[in-house]
Amino acid sequence: MSKLRIGIIGLGTVGCGVYKTLQNHENIEIVKIAVKNLNKKRSVEPPSSMLTDNPFEVVNDSSIDVVVELIGGVEPAYSYLEAAIKNGKHIVTANKELLAKRGAEIFKLAEEYNRVILYEAAIAGGIPIIMPIKTILAGNKINKIHAILNGTTNYILTKMDVEGASYEDVLKEAQELGYAETDPTGDVEGFDAAYKITTLATIAFKKKIKLENVYREGITKIRKEDMKEANEFGYKIKLIATASIDENNNADVRVHPMLISKDTTLAHIDYVTNAVELNGFPLGKVVLSGPGAGEFPTASSVVGDVLAIEAEFGKTDYLLPMMRCNHSEVANPIKIEDTYNKYYISITAPNAIGVIAKIGTICANKNISLSSILQRGVSKDNTADITVITEKCQEKLIREAVAELTECRINSIIRVAD
């Protein structure tokens, strides 16, 4: 039996993990690896004849059956995969940004050339989620997703919660420990999670979700005071990637901080751990949790995809039909201002008679019901800290109500999970 011949683009942390793991599989042969710097010291030392600094030597090599792309970003990654597919190669990728931004194009091209693209590692690192949705959960109509999909932000929020530290202090520590990049924007502003939920919702709902319709809000405005107050009300604050779809094909897909009840599983997903909660019929709710990043967790998903191709390679003319992207309908996006949520609002108000009554009146005039309202002691500057949690109401009405609180300072507005 001939071996499946692999070409790898990228030999960073994940690439090294993939290289190490594939050494244990006798039916796999790594033929060529494209790297940016041939002289860089790595945790693996492939034969020098295997390395190249020209990725097109990988995608144009007629002896390679599968190209594994691990460099990230849209370009030049898209151009490499486009060439690989046209050269008859199957694809395994961990590239969440590419899939979110140009997934429709690359999947269409793959189908045209009868190639398969597998991308388990692009959503939740080592957590198996795409294959289960496509196979053992295929009989379910999934209509709601709640997920923690970014380990960096979950680490920061957990440390803020446990230690009572500020966002700025924890971010600095996370950067020193290597959990956060020197430029953490992609993580802390929610871009990474937005890429992931775009593809995850597309697969789970069997409808195309466009990245430009995904609302995104990061964690940079979360204060240690919010953490403390959330705990007192029975919640934890997490960066949640959430998606839901109704019977009329209207999809609400977004990433933002949320207050999550301590009674739920997601509230106890801490540090760099990720989790995906799926809701559907007939199964109901299922939660998958595990390491969402790192050398071997991500390599586990990449290698799993390679072995899925290896198991069927040469045995059929149409490889892995269940894993193909075959939906064409685009979901109707719901704008964030039209969504209905509960809200946590932290207010600093003048210590004057009637302030709480005025807050209540403004909310009542917008048809906003208050679940709870709490005033703390008066500060030296004669202001009072007031915390409000609303019942479910429309986002645009909350914005209108807050705009009318002209005498108050709004410290935080955070949505509360159902």
DSSP annotation string for 219-246? STT--HHHHHHHHHTTEEEEEEEEEEE-
The secondary element (H helix, E strand) that includes residue 348 is strand 340-350
| Phi, psi angles (nearest 5°) of residue 162 | -70, -40
In angstroms, the CA 304 to CA 299 distance is 8
Higher pLDDT, 109 or 353: 109
Active site residues: 196
Rg over CA atoms, the chain: 24
Per-residue pLDDT averaged across 122-148, rounded?
96
- The tokens describing 230, both together, are 């959330």
Are 34 and 67 within 8 A, CB to CB? no
| Phi, psi angles (nearest 5°) of residue 380 | -65, -30
HSE, side-chain direction, 13 A CA sphere, residue 274: 26
DSSP three-state, residue 291: strand
Are 4 and 309 within 8 A, CB to CB? yes
pLDDT tens digits for 209-240?
A: 999 999 999 999 999 999 999 999 999 999 99
Q: What is the dihedral of CA 280, 286, 292, 298, to 10 degrees?
A: -80
In angstroms, the CA 6 to CA 244 distance is 38
Are 235 and 414 within 8 A, CB to CB? no
Q: Is the pLDDT of residue 168 over 90?
A: yes
Q: 331: which DSSP letter?
A: P
CA dist 288 → 48, 203, 218 (Å) = 40, 16, 23
Locate the domains of the chain by residue range. Answer: 4-122+295-323, 130-291, 339-416
Q: 139: which DSSP letter?
A: T
pLDDT tens digits for 378-405?
A: 887 889 999 999 999 999 999 999 999 9
Residue type, 251: A
Q: Is the pLDDT of residue 9 over 70?
A: yes
Query: Superfamily assignment of 130-291 in CATH?
Result: Dihydrodipicolinate Reductase; domain 2 (3.30.360.10)
| Phi, psi angles (nearest 5°) of residue 105 | -65, -45
Q: Is the pLDDT of residue 96 over 70?
A: yes
In angstroms, the CA 381 to CA 383 distance is 6
- Answer whether CATH 3.30.70.260 is correct for domain 339-416: yes
pLDDT tens digits for 169-208?
A: 999 999 998 889 999 999 999 999 999 999 999 999 999 9
pLDDT tens digits for 400-415?
A: 999 999 989 999 999 9
Q: Reduce the secondary structure of 25-46 to three states and give it as a string.
A: CCCEEEEEEECCCCCCCCCCCC
For 360, counting Cβ atoms within 10 Å of its Cβ (0-12 exposed, 13-18 middle, 19+ buried), the class is: middle
| pLDDT of amino acid 1 | 60
- CA quadruple 88, 81, 208, 301: dihedral sign: positive
In angstroms, the CA 122 to CA 195 distance is 9
In angstroms, the CA 14 to CA 283 distance is 33
Are 9 and 34 within 8 A, CB to CB? yes
For the chain, give the percent of residues with pLDDT over 70.
Answer: 100
DSSP 246-278: -TTSEEEEEEEEEEEETTSSGGG--TTEEEEEE
For the whole model, what pTM was predicted? 0.96
| pLDDT of amino acid 380 | 79
| pLDDT of amino acid 351 | 85
Are 196 and 99 within 8 A, CB to CB? no
| pLDDT of amino acid 108 | 95
Are 8 and 15 within 8 A, CB to CB? yes
- The answer to whether the peptide bond before residue 76 is cis (omega within 30 degrees of 0) is yes
CB contact set of 113 (below 8 Å; sequence gap of 6+): 85, 86, 88
Query: Superfamily assignment of 4-122+295-323 in CATH?
Result: NAD(P)-binding Rossmann-like Domain (3.40.50.720)
- Closest by Cα among 121, 120, 111 to 90: 111
CB contact set of 39 (below 8 Å; sequence gap of 6+): none
